[in-house]
Amino acid sequence: MKIMVIILVGLSLILSGIMGCGGSDSNIVGKWKDESGYTFEFFEDKTFTGPVLAGTWTILSDGRIKISTSGGAIWTATIQGDSLIIQNGLYRCKKVK
């Protein structure tokens, strides 16, 4: 019985680690500020606001973030450590604590 519990706990930890590698909604939710002082805020309802724009976001299967602005532009972003990199460096943001 103990062995079965240990196996189940181990499998649960492995699966949660694998699923966490694909990107998590909670990683992007919050306020981010770029080097120029512009602030972007991403909300749990998959919307965001920026300096002069707003729109929606979603996590792609490869872990990148797709950002669709209300003006029709589509950007991609990645989170690298504590940085949000939007459109290959167009904006480099740090999370506001």
pLDDT per residue over 17-70, tens digit each?
333 444 567 899 999 999 999 999 999 999 999 988 999 999 999 999 999 999
- What is the C-alpha separation between 84 and 79, in angstroms, rounded? 5
Fold of 24-95: Lipocalin (2.40.128)
The domain ranges of the chain are 24-95
Q: What is the DSSP string of 63-76?
A: S-EEEEETTS-EEE
pLDDT at position 29: 96
Question: Are the CB atoms for 92 and 34 separated by under 8 Å?
Answer: yes
Question: What is the rounded CA–CA span in Å between residue 47 and residue 41?
Answer: 9
Residue 60 buriedness (CB in 10 A; 0-12 / 13-18 / 19+): exposed
* pTM exceeding 0.95: no
